[in-house]
Amino acid sequence: MIYGIGTDLLKVERIHAAFAARGERFARRILGDDELKIFHARYARNHERGLLFLSTRFAAKEAFSKAIGLGLHSPMSWRVAQFVNAPSGKPMVKLSEPLLSWCDERGLIFHVAMTDESDVVCAFVVAETMEDSK
């Protein structure tokens, strides 16, 4: 059964401006440790690719917070929900405490889609209860 759906559409220039103003501090506020490693590697190779990564993760976290119905209120926070890729390339969410326990108590699983262009990114998250996903 669908628990919630969230989507976010974001102009990349917003993230460019925030990163220009706050730099690394902004990235550390938004990204979890695993995401931060990927961001640094991409940013080192190509600044634009790094900022697109940061933008898609920002949008994914906004979409995720809507899908679970909490917004950015405890136990949801920027760094406890990370969006990484499975070996197949499929995007997936990796949760940390206390959000991990909160989602487990509700039996939630997630489906994630993210896309980017040079000027916009979009993320879509569906939260569903495990018993109906079989």
Instruction: Find out whether 119 is annotated in a ligand binding site.
Output: no
Q: Give the burial class of 56: count Cβ atoms within 10 A of its Cβ; 0-12 exposed, 13-18 middle, 19 or more buried.
A: buried
CB-CB contact of 122 with 59 (8 Å): yes
Tell me which residue has tokens 């569903």.
128
| Tokens describing residue 14 | 């917003």
Instruction: Find out whether 131 is annotated in a ligand binding site.
Output: no
Positions at the binding site for Mg(2+)? 8, 62
Positions at the binding site? 8, 62
